[in-house]
Amino acid sequence: MSTQMQGYIDQAEKDLLHTYNRYQIVLDKGEGVYLYDTDGKKYLDFVSGIAVFALGYANKEYNDALKNQIDKIIHTSNYYYNQPAIDAARKLKKVSGMDRVFFTNSGAEAIEGALKAARKYAFLKDGKNDHEIIALNHSFHGRTFGALSVTGNPKYREPFEPMIGNIKFADMNDYDSIKKQVTDKTCAIIMETVQGEGGIYPADADFIKKVRKLCDEKDILLILDEIQCGMGRTGYMYAFQKYGIKPDIMTTAKALGCGVPVGAFMMTEKVGQNSLTAGDHGTTYGGNPLACAAINKVLDLFEKEHIIENVNQVAPYLEEKLDELKTRYSFITERRGAGLMQGLVMDMPVGDIINKALEKGLILINAGANIIRMVPPLVITKNDVDEMIDILESCLKEV
């Protein structure tokens, strides 16, 4: 590491609140599926800013769209309409199958809005404020109070309790555990269609269909968090589309803006007409022209560059190569995931492996202490997979 890079890191540690244990590199620029640090070292990126940079780095059409919007107008507030937001909402409805859109600045904010909409929907039915929400263990929905309240990992919640009330927890892919928690006060069930931070657990088809049926029978709202698993990552624009079901409310973010901070929660017309109304919810920046120009170009490029088709071509190859690694190393106990959202489960902590990979020019992250998580740009090729496997295996051999 150069003196210059170490100087940047030392300065950051003096000035920034220490809420992250950052890897000891300073990233400077990106191109395609590669990142470069301030020393010019090149890294193959299999993290994409935590499932954000779906299109890879330095996509000219994407960059030009943002530059053009900056020269027009960046922000107006929601007292006024703006054309990029109108266009983005229309396109997002088309690819998601949902009916109403509210733009936010982040995934956590999208979760907050979804929870408010669910509770308002229930309030309008019976005028009561004692409704319950069922969330899942090992889930992760964000760091704000509402999102944290439905995050199924006590270590994230305990230092900040009390959380918002009337939250119960059940288990992923265990329908009976959900059914046991349902009462006449239950207004919503919230889950990630594929759990990310909690260990890369996709929902089973039978499980999610049963939950959908239960919600229909009892007029409970099904909220699906597709912040990480959405936007083509599983081989569908949104992961729930694989199962032939539809949520009442859905959240999206991360790759929605491909680097520009933006999220959204969406709902069916029924929920839209019977939940949040003028004055119930708002945002200063959400849906501003710059963020929505990003959404518009992202959705255009997904179609033009056949992003989902690429995922469906490359993901089986990635799975095959990861499965081969599992057969060669006894400490790899499982490979699980969907599409280009994969996890390698090990019987030991993976921190050293990730650090060794970084030294060798490969960026990976964990999902829990013993899982290596891979959420690369959706434009990766089979050659990129081969390069990743070569580097990763060299690290595994050292272990």
**Using one digit for the tens of pLDDT, what is the confidence trace for 260-288?**
999 999 999 999 999 999 999 999 999 99
Backbone φ and ψ for 325, nearest 5 degrees, come out as: -60, -45
Within 8 A by CB and 6+ apart from 18, the residues are none
Q: Which of 189, 231, 227 is nearest to 106 (CA)?
A: 227
The tens place of each residue's pLDDT in the chain, 399 residues long, gives: 899 999 999 999 999 999 999 999 999 999 999 999 999 999 999 999 999 999 999 999 999 999 999 999 999 999 999 999 999 999 999 999 999 999 999 999 999 999 999 999 999 999 999 999 999 999 999 999 999 999 999 999 999 999 999 999 999 999 999 999 999 999 999 999 999 988 999 999 999 999 999 999 999 999 999 999 999 999 999 999 999 999 999 999 999 999 999 999 999 999 999 999 999 999 999 999 999 999 999 999 999 999 999 999 999 999 999 999 999 999 999 999 999 999 999 999 999 999 999 999 999 999 989 999 999 999 999 999 999 999 999 999 998
What distance in Å separates the CA atoms of residue 127 and residue 121, rounded to the nearest whole number?
10
Q: Which 3-state string (H, E, C) describes 112-175?
A: HHHHHHHHHHHHHHHCCCCCEEEEEECCCCCCCHHHHHCCECHHHHHHHCCCCCCEEEECCCCH
Token pair of 186 as six digits: 């239950």
Burial class from Cβ neighbours inside 10 Å (0-12, 13-18, 19+) for residue 68 reads exposed
Contact indicator for 248, 214 with CB cutoff of 8 Å: no
User: Could you give all domains of the chain from N- to C-terminal order, each with its CATH number?
Assistant: 3-55+306-398 (3.90.1150.10), 61-304 (3.40.640.10)
Block residue for tokens 């650090």 = 355
Task: Give the side-chain half-sphere CA count within 13 A for 274.
Answer: 16
Its pTM stands at 0.96
What distance in Å separates the CA atoms of residue 35 and residue 41, rounded to the nearest whole number?
8
Question: How much is the pLDDT for 332?
Answer: 97
* One-letter identity of residue 377: P
Q: In what order do the strands lie in the sheet with 100-104?
A: 100-104, 263-267, 249-252, 221-225, 186-192, 132-136, 167-170
What distance in Å separates the CA atoms of residue 323 and residue 207, rounded to the nearest whole number?
25
Q: How many Å from the N-terminal Cα to the C-terminal Cα in the chain?
A: 24
* One-letter identity of residue 306: H
Question: How much is the pLDDT for 337?
Answer: 96
What distance in Å separates the CA atoms of residue 356 and residue 303, rounded to the nearest whole number?
37
Question: How much is the pLDDT for 256?
Answer: 98
